[in-house]
Structure 1
């Protein structure tokens, strides 16, 4: 394929030559060895500039100049020049491929919800999110992906992060499950789901990594860095991957101090105690819903709020607590109403709840 002269000089300019340098170099290629005066006449380079332009080309390795009665110029060996141009072309090709990859798989930093095409992208982000967790991690995965996330889960558990691990196995078998010693290193509690399931990681109720199970007709992944969307995945995890399946390991204590990262589980457990007249003392770490500042609330529970289900306070299924759920804490400064993650109408958004003591009593 023949390239027109203007196109060739344009490409050389893209490669870093000035317009005069590109014009002069193409002229030298066309003339072969030629006097500088002839090169000036045949090119569009002004006579006063031709010597400086050719010396610049010589210093860059494109041509060489020599005396033969008058000053001549000729093109240098093409190997170095073609290698340089090929290297530049490869960089453009690599950049093009990277642009296409980033377009197809945008990073979470540039979009709160991203659809990606490779599972590798999903599990890589899951690993990063788990290592950055501040409070809690909910994980649903198959045994084939457990080893991949084991180091990140171990690190999070070691930092005191509440890790809920739901593992699903092929054909509902338990023989492939990690043993209790392995699970103690990587989670706070583990449950066995006896059905195929999607891959899901929900971190601090703000970040989600999701991919359909292997039998799905579609191959894709979803990356979320947003509270509102993650709220949907959080409830999906609780109601389909967690609450209904049997525990196979737990490091959680049934005796005070008892820690909760989800207010709904706390309300489910303490509501019957309060109804029976027990004195329940708590310490709650969270944030002020007006200012966003860290806030600690400590005192005696005087009541719970549950809306949306008439008998929620007597229910065991966490799905029964889908409405407003709150705790009322009697402090030295008066009562404080505490809600869960995303609380808006309560004074405090609870991130971690500790039941410090429970003293039995008699209901009025």
Structure 2
């Protein structure tokens, strides 16, 4: 380091111009008188005594009397410790500034725009690791591999994991062995088109970033149920509904677990229409109080805004509005059960389990 740079560094450490000059000169001379120190440096003789004593107060030098005031540089370890501490503090401050610039804090009920995909991915990883009920993700094969440990942790905590996996090149059809999804995902669908990165967690958090080829590189972090619901419908209609299922551990016979009331209705409406008895367990929340709620009973009816066609599964578009299950419990009380964001129903279901289906008895 050049002398001028050293002067600048000492100035950044809190030394004045004269203090820096005197200290650097003293390092070269070793031990010397105050008057000689003034002669060898640019410090005026009238100021040298004050400068030396200020350096002594800071721990840079020590003074002693030998006919006149003399000074020598202290063991530099104290100085070095101070400089290194300042350097570490500045480095930490620089990292904090960078973090705050790149990743604004996501307050409750907020949407934040961030600049780097890594910020979105890191936030998604933390959210998935803490998931309690359901995770929906859209990602590439490489991102799936990177996110696998977080997905595995959530899966082991009994979280339903729905994965829409895609490739970066339209014509590419990768080999996706079943083993890569075991113990990590509940269902996986393959979309042979580049797709944004999306992670939806527990109906509250959404993490979004455009496809890698997008001209605008940014990310969106959401901590709001209503906004996350918008991303949920994008996931259902564009990334899930029409694409090939390549892996599933969902049961085809009771007990069958649903985290989406619309999918449940599509499966059980034909059974109810045929007169079968469908017994369910509903886990969710009371829409009035927000308290956790559990209902066990028989589905007596389903209702939705669209129109069904006899003998055909209800199209997803017909279920875009209100969807309600009527569940009669063992005491004879009927509960109205809605899905995500239920308003008119008395219960918002997070999980619906079809525990039994009893076919109608033929005469």
Say if 1:189 and 1:250, in contact at 8 Å, map to a contact too.
yes
Residue 150 of structure 2 is matched in structure 1 by 152
| Deviation (angstroms), 1:93 | 5.5
Residues 262-305 of structure 1: CA distance to partner in whole angstroms, max 9, x if unpaired? 11111111122212211111111111112211111111111112
Alignment partner of 1:186: what SS?
coil
Q: Which runs of 5+ in 2 are unaligned?
A: 27-31, 36-42
Residue 38 of structure 2 is matched in structure 1 by none
Say if 2:113 and 2:221, in contact at 8 Å, map to a contact too.
yes
Residue 274 of structure 1 is matched in structure 2 by 272
Residue 311 of structure 1 is matched in structure 2 by 308
Q: Which runs of 5+ in 1 are unaligned?
A: none
| Deviation (angstroms), 1:115 | 1.7
Q: For 2:281 and 2:159, locate their aligned partners in 1 and report how far apart those are by CA, in whole Å.
A: 18
Q: For 1:119 and 1:111, locate their aligned partners in 2 and report how far apart those are by CA, in whole Å.
A: 21
Q: For 2:139 and 2:110, locate their aligned partners in 1 and report how far apart those are by CA, in whole Å.
A: 23
Identify the match of residue 191 of structure 1 among 189, 192, 205: 189
Say if 2:62 and 2:74, in contact at 8 Å, map to a contact too.
no
Q: Which is further off, 154-163 or 103-112?
A: 103-112
Q: For 2:224 and 2:309, locate their aligned partners in 1 and report how far apart those are by CA, in whole Å.
A: 28
| Deviation (angstroms), 1:84 | 3.9
Residue 67 of structure 1 is matched in structure 2 by 65
| Deviation (angstroms), 1:236 | 0.6
| Deviation (angstroms), 1:95 | 1.4
Residue 29 of structure 2 is matched in structure 1 by none
Say if 2:172 and 2:192, in contact at 8 Å, map to a contact too.
yes
Residue 358 of structure 1 is matched in structure 2 by 357
Distance 1:181-1:25 versus aligned 2 partners, 3 A rule:
closer
Residues 24-50 of structure 1: CA distance to partner in whole angstroms, max 9, x if unpaired? 958977998449xxx9x956x9xxxx8
Residue 215 of structure 2 is matched in structure 1 by 217
TM-score calculated relative to the size of structure 2: 0.80
Residues 102-147 of structure 1: CA distance to partner in whole angstroms, max 9, x if unpaired? 1232133588322222222222222211111111111111112221
Residue 287 of structure 1 is matched in structure 2 by 285
Q: For 2:83 and 2:252, locate their aligned partners in 1 and report how far apart those are by CA, in whole Å.
A: 70
Distance 1:85-1:116 versus aligned 2 partners, 3 A rule:
same
Residues 70-102 of structure 1: CA distance to partner in whole angstroms, max 9, x if unpaired? 6x2536269664884475256335514531431
**1:76 aligned onto 2:66:** no
* Map 1:223-242 → 2, pairs under 5 A: 223-242=221-240
